[in-house]
Structure 1
Amino acid sequence: MTTLFISDLHLSPATPEINQCFVKFMREEAIHADALYVLGDLFEFWVGDDDKSDFASSIRHEFKTLTELGVPCFFTQGNRDFLVGKRFAKQTGVTLLSDETVIDIYGQKAVVLHGDTLCTEDVKYLEFRAKVHQPWLQWVFNRIPMFLKQKIVSKVQSDIKTDKQTKSLDIMDVTQSEVVRVMDHYNVDLMIHGHTHRPNVHSFDRNDTKYTRIVLGDWYTQGSVLVYDKNTFELQQRPFGNGSK
């Protein structure tokens, strides 16, 4: 049996290939797992739990089916789906995690998170993040009409795209000192996160201890899954279409 980790799918009505790969993954692979962890940015942008569109309903259906089959599913909010809330959790059966959560994977302690908070050099983004995570602002946003939400989201997406074009890749990557701080804080030697779209396994030694940081991949050109079992782990790809694993 395995525990599966995914992040940065950026699902939307405009990404049919990614959506189909996700559905295939949920129905043919996740149903056999011990647990599924979604570490943020499942959606290109989640406008709110009151989204009743066919697209939003179809994604909720996949999670509800999975959890009703007895597979625990855990969800960490990302920078694109920070509005996923309690209603989504109730409708789907998923468990919402905090920004940083320590889990046990077959006896191995690990801290899991989306990864955006590790990018401490991206000051402008962190200021934006602090603003949109204010409870009063989210309370207001969740109570305005859907058409107005969609207009605001379109503007935010445009601003994000423009901002990314002016940033260096180094600024948008994690800061090693923050990685060490978080791992020390939780007394773990394993970290799993997404956000940077740079799938890899990083190892470093410190105080005679080997630390491992696993970065999940995005789903822009293929599916990306961390498969973790009792003896080993592997970052794997899932091709779009009807290709084999």
Structure 2
Amino acid sequence: MKLLVVEDDPTLQAALLRLLGQWGYGTEAAASGWEALAWLDREVFDLVLLDLGLPDTDGHAVCRQLRQRAHHQPLVLMLTARDSRGDKLQGFAGGADDYVVKPFDPDLLRARLAALLRRADRPLQNQLSWGPLLLQPGQTTLQVSGQPLELTRKEALLLELLLRAQGSSCSKAQLLHGSGDGRREVGEDSLRAHIRSLRCKLTAAGCAPGLIETVYGLGYRLALTPAA
């Protein structure tokens, strides 16, 4: 799952990206309303964490513009120091799905995010499976034929994307964007290294060596006939 963090305070933005990464989410970040809308034009996000006090516009305006668009509609969680009843009502009226006041309890934020993603009115699988593989989205512990296998956060994000594709090809661009952490650029050499490491772990756990296939000129996919 991929989240967009819209926060202009660099210290808080970095802290949020670090927390979300630890919780298993892919992330990107924006420091202004314009930058957030630009991200939403070119990427599909599951959820947007939206600050209200942005340097170029108000977060309420960003949410309203987002809700006026005809294409993909991510969830919106407003994360702000404004705690008045009027601000909360305005946020929900403008299309927000939840409202968390700063300073926040990280455990409570994590629970609110999980609850939002669970109850979203769209196809959202609690578990992803393929042959012997079973993965809970957002987790780094993979079940292989019922046995736990620990993955790195990057490996888990890549495998989640491949599992969601259910045997269809994932382009390198899709995998790079979907596993991004919002803090540094990840190139194709790094992607190949993570895929190689993931393949080695899966093979060592008893999976067929060809479970993750290379689609030459495009990217990767899970083998069309999953090995048991």
TM-score, with normalisation over the residues of structure 1?
Answer: 0.27
State the structure with bigger RCO (CA 8 A, min sep 6), 1 or 2: 1
Write 1 or 2 for the structure with the bigger share of helix. Answer: 2
**Bigger radius of gyration among the two:** 2
